[in-house]
Chains A and B, each alone.
Chain A
Amino acid sequence: GAVVSQHPSWVICKSGTSVKIECRSLDFQATTMFWYRQFPKQSLMLMATSNEGSKATYEQGVEKDKFLINHASLTLSTLTVTSAHPEDSSFYICSARDRQGIYEQYFGPGTRLTVT
């Protein structure tokens, strides 16, 4: 149980284009999902918290117009990187909290984004 998937697992895009990453909770309902980014050999940094049916809450320093988050259902959240630049290349990981859980987060396998 408690499986979270991400799609795609890796993506290469050209500078200036937009990329959408999906995060799904497969066997539970997630009222809250989280988006993290991880640079090589560094730890995870929380980008934003996504609540179903409401606007995402972004961490300080994260541009909300650049990283668009939509949490349209209890099992799906999407992160769209708009007008991507090479410095946006990173490993993006989502997590989901079971609505009946004890604040434990279940993590997806991550998406490797490379912007050329």
Chain B
Amino acid sequence: KQEVTQIPAALSVPEGENLVLNCSFTDSAIYNLQWFRQDPGKGLTSLLLIQSSQREQTSGRLNASLDKSSGRSTLYIAASQPGDSATYLCAVSLAYAASKLTFGTGTRLQVTL
């Protein structure tokens, strides 16, 4: 059974800092990995999707990397802003069940002024 863990569970940083969120998974036979953002009481916004054959994806100030063999992904946020405050979730799908996502526990990020 795939288990997905995110560290840290919560993080508070001052505006402007670069930060890294971590995601680890136990079964490396993944199909893809997605990073999502969730604001309080809201649904999910997809940030980045990395296919199993890719090493990283970038979108604006966000960069996600994938090391399938070690079961890890990181989400790098550059020059953080108060508007980045949210919960960040990573989710993986397995190669033999590509349409099913297993979500991590989430990292609650607060960016302060």
Contacts and interface: CB of A to CB of B under 8 A. Distances in A.
Interface of A: 6, 32, 34, 42-46, 49, 91, 93, 95, 97, 102-110, 112
B44 A103 contact: no
18 contacts: A34-B100, A42-B105, A44-B44, A44-B89, A44-B91, A46-B101, A46-B102, A49-B100, A93-B44, A95-B101, A97-B99, A102-B51, A103-B99, A104-B46, A105-B46, A105-B101, A109-B43, A110-B43
Interface of B: 31-32, 34, 36, 41-46, 49, 51, 89, 91, 93, 98-106
A103 B105 contact: no
Contacts, number: 57
Nearest to B91: A44
Given A43-B104, A43-B106, A103-B93, A49 B99 contact: yes
Given A44-B89, A93-B43, A104 B49 contact: yes
A103 B32 contact: yes
Residue from B93, B98, B99, B103 whose CB has the most chain A CB atoms within 10 Å: B99
B103 A43 contact: yes
